[in-house]
């Protein structure tokens, strides 16, 4: 397809949001590269929204495959994607939604040995993880390398988001984890894993709301529109208490 037609298609997709941002702001988003670590419940929503808003390039990172227990909440999971790679399914979804987005997939788990390879060249990274050790590794790396990190987490009907930068407290510091200022060794891993209390409950709307909000925080950061929810401010809610939608400072 000739370049001019690709440009026309891209801007047609973005046309309904162009009264919210200027063309130069949207162009910054079009030229940006975002890492999405985790392509499940939260990550699927993140991927969908970033593609629809017109991100330029995505790194999708997840080692897992879909199973039946994902169907109650994960947008990328269907009966036809069961046992398929989450990152590859995310890529296929983006191709269908917005073919002007470049997608790189990594069917592996983020750890200290590959974190630079996976997200080191990203403009911003979105934490859609469901385990604390990988989240700590990602948080340390992005802070050290001055890459903004959009954090999101859920439990049951509750969700929270915030954005970490090199100038804010780290994820570990904000939530007072036992790993603060310590090397990740077997003892620290044991202490961190003891904080998990089995498989957490979750219901469909919650991860998808959080993912959409995280995607928009990335959009705000890159384009410069609106006010980003920077740490130590946290936006949180409980869908069983509609008065709970608020921003708090820890």
Q: Residue 2: pLDDT above 60?
A: no
Residue 5 in domain: no
Residue 98's domain comprises: 22-249
SS3 87: helix
1 confidence band (pLDDT: 50, 70, 90): low
Q: What is the mean pLDDT of residues 56-74?
A: 97
Residue 14: inside a domain: no
Confirm whether 163 is domain-assigned. yes
- Region at 83 (left for phi over 0; alpha for psi -120 to 50; beta for the rest): left
Residue 65 lies in a domain: yes
Average pLDDT of span 94-106: 97
The answer as to whether 17 is a domain residue is no
Confidence of residue 198 (pLDDT cuts 50, 70, 90): confident
- Tell me whether residue 207 is in a domain: yes
CB-based contacts of 12: which residues, under 8 Å, 6+ apart?
Answer: none
| Model confidence at 248: pLDDT above 80 | yes
Count of domains forming the chain: 1
DSSP state for residue 170 in the 8-state scheme? P
Tell whether the model's pLDDT for residue 6 goes beyond 90: no
Compute, in degrees rounded to 10, the torsion defined by CA atoms 24, 30, 35, 41.
110
- Is the predicted pLDDT of residue 5 greater than 70, yes or no? no
Q: Is residue 201 part of a domain?
A: yes
Q: What is the pLDDT of residues 161-191, one digit of tens each?
A: 999 999 999 999 999 999 999 999 999 889 9
* C-alpha span between 25 and 163 (Å, rounded): 20
Q: Model confidence over 7-36: pLDDT tens digits?
A: 899 999 999 999 999 999 999 999 999 999
Q: Is the pLDDT at 159 greater than 70, yes or no?
A: yes
Is the pLDDT assigned to residue 118 strictly greater than 70?
yes
Assign residue 203 the CATH number of its domain: 3.40.50.720
Residue 125 in any domain: the answer is yes
């Amino acid at each position: 397809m000739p370049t001019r037609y690709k440009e026309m298609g891209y801007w047609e997709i973005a046309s309904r949001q162009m009264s919210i941002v200027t063309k130069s702001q949207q162009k910054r988003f079009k030229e940006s590269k975002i890492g999405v670590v985790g392509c499940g419940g939260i990550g699927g929503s993140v991927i969908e929204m970033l593609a629809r808003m017109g991100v330029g390039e995505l790194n999708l990172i997840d080692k897992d495959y879909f199973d039946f227990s994902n169907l109650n909440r994960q947008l990328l999971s269907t009966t036809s994607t069961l046992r398929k790679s989450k990152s590859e399914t995310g890529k296929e979804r983006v191709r269908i939604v917005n073919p002007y987005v470049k997608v790189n997939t990594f069917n592996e788990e983020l750890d200290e040995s590959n974190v630079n390879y996976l997200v080191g060249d990203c403009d911003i990274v979105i934490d859609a993880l469901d385990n604390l050790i990988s989240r700590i590794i990602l948080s340390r790396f992005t802070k050290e390398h001055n890459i903004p990190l959009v954090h999101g987490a859920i439990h049951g009907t509750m969700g929270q988001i915030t954005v970490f930068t090199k100038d804010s407290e780290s994820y570990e510091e904000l939530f007072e984890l036992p790993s603060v200022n310590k090397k990740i060794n077997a003892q620290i891993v044991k202490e961190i894993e003891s904080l998990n209390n089995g498989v957490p409950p979750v219901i469909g709307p919650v991860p998808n709301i959080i993912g959409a909000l995280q995607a928009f925080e990335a959009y705000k950061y890159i384009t410069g529109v609106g006010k980003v929810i920077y740490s130590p401010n946290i936006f949180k809610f409980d869908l069983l208490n509609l008065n709970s939608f608020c921003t708090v400072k820890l």
